[in-house]
Amino acid sequence: MTNEEPGRRGTVAPSTWVGLALAVLAIVFVLQNQGRVTIQLLWMRVGAPMWLVLLILFLVGWAVGALVRRRRRR
């Protein structure tokens, strides 16, 4: 006897497929955008791969969104 539910054998949840597709797209994006860009902010000038700059900007945006959302809930 197994603990598997009948009819659920070998199925993959749609959220898993979406996650895999996004991971593949992220890998393709990184591989295609390895060129260096120069960012200047106030007095600082930094050179980094474009994918890294976009990742940092995404994380900053996510953090700002989380902070604003948290503040609204209180």
| Distance between CA atoms of residues 32 and 51, nearest Å | 9
pLDDT of residue 45: 93
Q: How far apart are CA 8 and CA 25, in angstroms?
A: 28
> Per residue in 2-47, pLDDT tens?
555 555 677 888 888 998 998 898 888 888 888 999 989 899 998 9
